Structure 1
């Protein structure tokens, strides 16, 4: 179901997204060798609740944590554990915040210590593709334009674009219509209109696009066991230029 938001509702999502962006900044301060992924999860939940929100993911379809933490060849939906981060790891941190009745959703993939140059480039180009897609999140464009922009950017580097998992609308529900694939054809799909709020989230693999689900029922991993990257923003469709509600500025500040 596709639900267009009023300016009042967008303002509430903006407030949710501001908390979420700050959460990512707090997490970034703790992403380091020797830190467990459960520790990152507890940092996130405490910050969200201290700021009047609740974790969107906790309890969602039975998920028991505040963060999806996906390591190395895990694409998305990884479960926090007692695993301690090691130099050379890449770790995707996906988080949602529910505040004043509305959800926001954002993800960022961190490099831990020294990673292989080809992996660092995967992260860079996947992050670039997010913004390439957002350039087409404007009134009058089509869903396929977003996916085409992401796909054409990353495939030039030989990467695989995951097809089984997609971005989505969001608002009072964490997942609303429409689906936003990270691949597609120009001019295809639903026409975008002002007031639509989307989570755009490229999931890009160093190797092939194919993925498998782990026995835990959650974790999605690359079939060839090569690393994957995931970046996500919550955006509003506007005329001329999308409005990005989440920001990586707090992460950049923490890392620098």
Structure 2
């Protein structure tokens, strides 16, 4: 059960990811406590937790500042996630996954393929594909049966734009979006095939390459994404820039 501190940390995390504070901006305990209607002590503890997650930096004698991320740091986080998911895929392949999970993952892939053939032209279709992508990646981790992997991947996924849910679509390049998603679907088919056929090393290599392409796509689409108005509703986007981090 979530504690009061957990809830405050989550609330503050959402505020940061929505970009309500600028990268580099100082967070004042009093102001944040008043905004959330809680004590300064709880706010201080929540800020400490978010520092551990990497969303805040501690400034000597000045409290905390919102961290700026670069797109290269995002790509690096995706690479780390890919290594963890590669371990998950290898474990799942070596142990074997139950037929119920196989069937669920195949159903995800089938629906995703239908969506791609529609061209992903509307927000509902793109949102559904993101849900399916997230569910596929979660299913691989579930199949690993390794209780340490989930929390480790969750930690990486808290970095802005690093999670499977943080899909970057370039609204000015719909054909490229479809091409990228079709390639991701093809990756998923091969990854599941390797897992079902108990090919652990193949599954691991495939998912590493899949993560590499995800990071590359983020870089490719990033400039158009930041220039879009209004900005897409993508948590963490406001904290990411090209260039050096603070």
Asked whether the two chains share a fold, i.e. TM above 0.5, the reply is: no
Question: Whose relative contact order is higher, 1 or 2, with alpha carbons under 8 Å and at least 6 apart?
Answer: 2
Higher-strand-fraction structure: 1
Higher-helix-fraction structure: 2
